[in-house]
Structure 1
Amino acid sequence: MTSAPERATDVLTTAREQVLERGEGLSEAQVLEALRVPDERLPDLLALAHEVRMRWCGPEVEVEGIISLKTGGCPEDCHFCSQSGRFPTPVRSAWLDIPGLVKAARQTKETGATEFCIVAAVRGPDKRLLSQVREGIKAIREDGNDIQIACSLGMLTQEQVDELVEMGVHRYNHNLETARSHFPEVVTTHTWEERWETLLMIREAGMEVCCGGIIGMGETVEQRAEFAAQLAELGPDECTMNFLIPQPGTPYEHYEVVEGKDALRTVAAFRLAMPRALLRFSGGRELTFGDFGTKQGMLGGINAIIVGNYLTNLGRPAEVDLEMLTELKMPVKALSDSL
């Protein structure tokens, strides 16, 4: 029977040849082995994930800002979300006006970000919301801002997908959130398959696909490996790496924060499953990693970050993250290179 260090050596050796040299992501079983790498081999796992990132993605980091156009009052029961109208959270329903949206886009562009994501807490967009998105994009362009526009507006119909393409939306975010086998424990008001169908329509329409999820919602390590494999099957252009923030009033308010080492293993394993994707540090990194762990993650496979605040949680000031990237000698992806 092989020991844990021996198994770690096996998966790292395999990943070096399979992922680093050939660009082929790890399988579900192989991801599981990576997620079980013992603490003493974690630096080796992170170093390999960084090599993979540099080989298949390069040194640049894509910086993005996000803004909530419609906050709170969502009819869905996503157990992690403070914007659900079904839970007694402090978040109340609110809409952002168009001048506010334009200002946020301008401030995001000034940080050096190339991507600005308009988010709404909804099951899916109605005519009012799509009209505001259209008006907002038009106003951002009239402001002379050429930043790329992404949206995250929930599940879509084909007609809505086509409308967003016509508006010039560059990328659409719709997270699967967790492994298919665990999803019914997290959300009961819609299915994993409904989300998957939206993602397929987005890709077919020519928009870039942004899809990831949240780690730390009671899933097993086996389900984390399952999730990585399902994301790899989808092949998103961008994968968001969120870590649970236990939100007051939600069913997960008393869940423990993911341990830093487990979070780093997950980052590295997801990189080895998806060698060519943008892997973006998103919500929860400040709470899960702190400054030191964030730098380890940037050197363990991450090549994109959200700067500034999140939807209902404060993030780090953009200048702090940009200083970190300078310290790590990681250039920010230029807008001209993104278009």
Structure 2
Amino acid sequence: MTAAPDQDVTEQEPAADILAVARERVLERGEGLTEEQVLAVLRLDLDRLPELLGLAHEVRMRWCGPEVEVEGIVSVKTGGCPEDCHFCSQSGRFPTPVRSAWLDIPGLVRAARETAATGATEFCVVAAVRGPDARLLSQVREGIRAIRESGNDIQIACSLGMLTQAQVDELVEMGVHRYNHNLETARSHFPNVVTTHTWEERWETLRMVRDAGMEVCSGGIVGMGESDAQRAEFAVQLAELDPHEVPMNFLIPQQGTPYEDYPVIEGKEALRIVAAFRLALPRTMLRFAGGRELTLGDLGAEQGMLGGINAIIVGNYLTNLGRPAEQDLAMLADLKMPIKALSETL
């Protein structure tokens, strides 16, 4: 007579549902998911996307609140960058249509005024460089002074590449309150995206910025050939950095770059990625940035605002067109999401 099989061997406990795990860990305790858990969310069946987005929105509302920070950006130095970031049309190493140009001080003041007029509370000055030289820092200093003398009290952030400690200290002295320097992608994938500098160099700049008391803004671009596992890796690496803000960009294939023929991420997948990052970063400002119009369209943008996003860039993105600011502000009004007041960002 054959013995009955050992139940302890043949019967196993069913795996815990990842959204139930996330509800208890993230929504109830405010703790971000682990890398393995983020990966499980990224592999969740798209049939459960509405449930996932609903949970991500609950997390955003509980740990960040209903307000949305609105930001405009302007390029003070466009094109001619010596680095080989494979996604970027501003690299001087690729045959792209973008040509090197500088924005003068009156143009910078005008851009800040137009940004403030949209209701934005944040204005980011961006330059396509490896790192700032004396000329660029002098122009940023003069620009900030001119913006203040014009009576505009909008908060000013900068994105000027990799910094030295002396440059960090100089930006603090200028009154720059937030610094953007994207890690771009997971550490394991970075050498496939950039070869002229390292992920660790970017991390060191962000460490100095944080230690100097400026707010840290660091995110990246999704859709550059990374795997789901590398997206999960990236999410927890950002969580380790503990940034104030994470911009979520989706690849816009740029003419002349190595990524010009890469496919655009499908909208539902993009929304699943946004929600997964919210569950990894429950207390962090998560900002819709470049590529959302191409990837998500109008309806997707609204779904993203109800799926974990709580900040948005209005207007254009450096070398790419965005939606009119009025359209995004109308969307926020329809969703009854208040714009974060300037006094609350001081």
TM norm structure 1: 0.98
Show structure 1 runs of 5+ residues with no match. Answer: none
The 5 Å alignment of 1:214-229 reads 214-229=221-236
The residue that corresponds to 1:37 in the other structure is 44
What corresponds to 1:307 in structure 2?
Answer: 314
Secondary structure of residue in 1 paired with 2:294: helix
Give 1:55-94 correspondences, 5 Å limit: 55-94=62-101
2:5 maps to: none
Task: Indicate yes or no: 2:127 matched with 1:112.
Answer: no
Deviation of 1:158 (Å): 0.1
Runs of 4 or more consecutive aligned structure 1 residues displaced over 2 Å after TM superposition: none
Correspondent of 2:286 among 279, 291, 315: 279
Partner Cα distance (1:261, 1:319) in 2: 25
State the aligned residue count. Answer: 335
Structure 1 position 21 matched with structure 2 position 51: no
2:274 to 267, 271, 277: 267
* 8 Å Cα contact 1:74-1:123 kept in structure 2: yes
1:257 Cα deviation after fit? 0.2
CA shift, 1:313, in A, is 0.4
Asked whether the 8 Å contact 1:28–1:228 carries over to 2, the reply is yes
- Counterpart for residue 3 of structure 2: none
Cα deviation, residue 221, structure 1: 0.5
Matched, 1:135 2:134: no
Q: Matches of 2:193 and 2:335 in 1, distance apart? A: 36
Q: How does 1:1-339 map to 2 (within 5 A)?
A: 10-339=17-346
Which one-letter code corresponds to 1:309 in the other structure? N
Query: How many Å apart are 1:59 and its aligned residue?
Result: 0.3
Q: Equivalent residue of 2:123, what SS?
A: strand
Q: What's the offset of the Cα at 1:34? A: 0.5
Offset, 1:337: 1.8
Counterparts of 1:146 and 1:21 in 2: how far apart (Å)?
A: 37
Q: Shift of residue 248 of structure 1?
A: 0.3
Alignment deviations for residues 157-179 of structure 1 (CA, whole Å, 9 cap, x no partner): 00000000000001000000000
Give CA-to-partner distance per residue, 1:232-278, whole Å, 9 cap, x none.
Answer: 11010000000000000000000000111111111000000000110
Cα deviation code 1:176-217 (max 9, x no counterpart)? 000000000000000000000000000000000000000000
- Structure 2 residue matching 1:69: 3-state secondary structure: strand
SS in 1 for 2:290: coil
The Cα shift of 1:39 comes to 1.2
**Highest CA radius of gyration, 1 or 2?**
2
1:215-239 deviation per Cα after TM superposition (whole angstroms, max 9, x unaligned): 0000000000000010011010000
What CA distance in whole angstroms lies between the structure 2 residues aligned with 1:30 and 1:118? 36
SS in structure 2 at match of 1:209 = strand
For residues 33 and 312 of structure 1, what CA distance do their matches in structure 2 show?
Answer: 35
1:73 match: secondary structure: coil
Could you tell me how far apart the structure 2 residues matched to 1:172 and 1:121 are?
14
User: Given that residues 112 and 334 in structure 1 are in contact (C-alpha distance below 8 angstroms), is that contact kept between their aligned partners in structure 2?
Assistant: no
Q: 2:45 & 2:179 partners in 1: Cα distance?
A: 36
The letter of the residue matching 1:326 is A
Q: CA deviation at 1:97?
A: 0.2
**Aligned-partner Cα distance in 2 for 1:205–1:284:** 31
Q: Output the amino acid matched with 1:95.
A: W
Cα deviations by residue, 1:15-64 (Å, 9 ceiling, x for unpaired): 10100010000000000001011011111110000000000000000000
Separation of aligned partners in 1, 2:187 and 2:329: 35
1-structure distance, mates of 2:183, 2:17: 30
- d(CA) in 2 for partners of 1:235 and 1:266? 19
What is the distance in 2 between the residues matched to 1:295 and 1:37?
21
Question: Is residue 12–residue 45 contact of structure 1 (8 Å, CA) maintained in 2?
Answer: yes
Q: Distance in 1 between matches of 2:54 and 2:273?
A: 14
